[in-house]
């Protein structure tokens, strides 16, 4: 609880939950000395929250009798958004947030009007979001560090270990964070490679904000950059296919990870790389629209093999059905 603002809010929570607390109890609960505690009491008073001080052997602090914070004024739509946000946060891979989600939900429900409180509780108890499960443990400290550095346009020095277990030291202009496929990524300008790069947070050994600042490109989309980076990984075989559909349906059916989609007249060009033509042929085989394989020619052979396999399966099922019918 290193943030003074968090401690002030916690102090308010303690005073609301208890009729009276001594200075020693409050200081111990907050992990501060008595002088710092008096500063936090003063901060509450400056916010217009009346705290009375009682001196003597049994003295301490309490909120003025009859004082209550007003109910949290949220519309039904706002309460729904907050409740869904808390549910979604459970799957983001940040283990440290689990207790915070429960306390945040409890605090919100305590100050909500009765009708909204009932709606929030109903949603929390009955709704489940099937989001991609976290595939790597998240680090709350790194997530907040890069979020803050991105907002402040502040460079970050980081020690990174790649998928070959090789460690490098980088200086990064962080442009944005993305949660994709159960992992957190930070994207930005890497000074070591002098190019745009994305880094998995679970592979960052250490990160330190620097004094230097940077200008962020106005049109940079970290999610789009990450999708292109994943789709352009240096796999063995280059593939080009023209899809007879529009961009929206192409992405919906094949997913962004498969390659780079580019509108091309009445169709869409798909440029990708793969280590398995058989796998790529299977992805194309179940598409509801037509397509033309431009390269490599071997992909046509792999697709023909998939078609023959499906034909054999269909014939086998048909023969089995006829035999059952004859019986």
223/236 same-domain check: no
- Which domain-ending residue is among 35, 63, 91? 63
Q: Is residue 180 part of a domain?
A: yes
84/122 same-domain check: yes
Total tally of structural domains belonging to the chain: 4
Structure confidence at residue 315 (pLDDT):
80
Give every residue of the chain whose pLDDT is below 70, as ranges: 1-3, 56-58, 66, 68-74, 91-99, 110-111, 130-138, 317-327
In contact, 191 and 174? CB cutoff 8 Å: no
The first and second tokens of residue 193, run together, are 């490679």
Distance, in Å, from the CA atom of 321 to the CA atom of 326, rounded to the nearest integer, reads 9
Find the CATH number of the domain harbouring 34: 1.10.10.10
Q: Is residue 323 part of a domain?
A: no
Query: Sheet holding 291-295: strands in order across?
Result: 260-264, 267-274, 237-243, 291-295
Distance, in Å, from the CA atom of 316 to the CA atom of 297, rounded to the nearest integer, reads 29
152/178 same-domain check: yes
Q: Is residue 96 part of a domain?
A: yes
In contact, 265 and 300? CB cutoff 8 Å: no
Instruction: List the end-to-end C-alpha distance of the chain, in Å, as a whole number.
Output: 75
Structure confidence at residue 267 (pLDDT):
95
Q: Is residue 257 part of a domain?
A: yes
- Which domain-ending residue is among 228, 247, 277? 228
178/257 same-domain check: no
In contact, 61 and 51? CB cutoff 8 Å: yes
212/147 same-domain check: yes
Distance, in Å, from the CA atom of 177 to the CA atom of 216, rounded to the nearest integer, reads 13
HEC string for the chain: CCCHHHHHHHHHHHHHHCCCECHHHHHHHHCCCHHHHHHHHHHHHHCCCCEEEECCCCCEEEECCCCCCCCCCCCHHHHHHHHHHHHHHCCCCCCCHHHHHHHHHHHHHHHCCHHHHHHHHHHHHHCCCCCCCCCCCCCHHHHHHHHHHHHHCEEEEEEEECCCCCEEEEEEEEEEEEEECCEEEEEEEECCCCEEEEEEHHHEEEEEEEEEECCCCCCCCHHHHHHHHHHCCCCCEEEEEEECCCHHHHHHHHCHHHCEEEEECCEEEEEEEECCHHHHHHHHHCCCCCEEEEECHHHHHHHHHHHHHHHHHHHHHHHHHHHHHHC
217/237 same-domain check: no
pLDDT tens-digit readout, 85-99? 877 777 666 655 666
The domain of 213 spans 140-228
Residues 6+ apart with CB under 8 A from 210: 154, 155, 156, 157, 171
pTM above 0.75, yes or no: no
Residue 191 burial (C-beta neighbours within 10 Å; 0-12, 13-18, 19+): middle
Structure confidence at residue 5 (pLDDT):
73
Distance, in Å, from the CA atom of 293 to the CA atom of 306, rounded to the nearest integer, reads 15
Q: Is residue 22 part of a domain?
A: yes
Structure confidence at residue 135 (pLDDT):
61
Structure confidence at residue 195 (pLDDT):
94
Distance, in Å, from the CA atom of 40 to the CA atom of 25, rounded to the nearest integer, reads 14
Structure confidence at residue 94 (pLDDT):
64
Q: Is residue 208 part of a domain?
A: yes
Find the CATH number of the domain harbouring 280: 3.30.70
pLDDT tens-digit readout, 181-211? 778 899 999 999 999 999 999 999 999 999 9
Distance, in Å, from the CA atom of 283 to the CA atom of 277, rounded to the nearest integer, reads 10
218/269 same-domain check: no
Phi and psi for 231 in degrees, rounded to 5? -70, -20
Find the CATH number of the domain harbouring 190: 2.30.30
Structure confidence at residue 159 (pLDDT):
96
Distance, in Å, from the CA atom of 320 to the CA atom of 250, rounded to the nearest integer, reads 36
236/223 same-domain check: no
Picking from 238, 231, 257, the residue whose alpha carbon sits closest to that of residue 297 is 238
Q: Is residue 68 part of a domain?
A: no
Q: Is residue 203 part of a domain?
A: yes
296/237 same-domain check: yes
Picking from 145, 142, 144, 232, the residue whose alpha carbon sits closest to that of residue 195 is 232
In contact, 176 and 150? CB cutoff 8 Å: yes
């Amino acid at each position: 609880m290193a943030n003074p603002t968090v401690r002030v809010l916690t102090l308010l929570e303690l005073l609301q939950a208890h009729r009276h607390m001594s200075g020693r109890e409050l200081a111990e609960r907050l992990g501060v000395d008595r002088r710092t505690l008096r500063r936090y009491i003063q901060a509450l008073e400056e916010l217009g929250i009346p705290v009375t001080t009682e001196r003597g052997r049994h003295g301490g602090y309490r909120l003025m009798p009859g004082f209550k914070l007003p109910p949290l004024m949220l519309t039904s739509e706002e309460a729904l958004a907050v409740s869904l946000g808390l549910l979604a946060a459970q799957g983001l891979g940040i283990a440290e947030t689990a207790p915070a989600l429960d306390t945040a939900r409890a605090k919100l429900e305590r100050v909500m009007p009765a009708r909204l409180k009932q709606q929030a509780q109903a949603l929390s108890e009955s709704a489940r979001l099937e989001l991609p499960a976290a595939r790597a443990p998240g680090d709350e400290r790194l997530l907040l560090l890069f979020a803050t550095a991105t907002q402040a346009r502040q460079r970050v020095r980081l020690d990174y270990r790649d998928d070959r277990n090789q460690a490098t030291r980088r200086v990064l202009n962080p442009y944005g964070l993305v949660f994709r496929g159960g992992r957190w990524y930070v994207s930005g300008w890497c000074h070591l490679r002098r190019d745009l790069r994305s880094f998995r947070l679970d592979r960052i050994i250490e990160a330190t904000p620097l004094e230097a600042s940077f200008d962020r490109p106005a049109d940079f989309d970290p999610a789009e950059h990450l999708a292109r980076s994943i789709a352009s990984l240096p796999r063995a075989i280059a593939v080009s296919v023209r899809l007879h559909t529009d961009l929206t349906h192409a992405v919906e059916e094949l997913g962004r990870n498969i390659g780079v989609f580019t509108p091309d007249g009445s169709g869409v060009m798909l440029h990708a790389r793969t280590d398995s033509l058989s796998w790529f042929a299977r992805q194309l085989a179940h598409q509801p629209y037509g397509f033309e394989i431009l390269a490599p020619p071997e992909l046509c052979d792999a697709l023909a093999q998939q078609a023959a396999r499906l034909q054999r399966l269909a014939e086998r099922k048909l023969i089995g059905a006829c035999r059952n019918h004859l019986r």
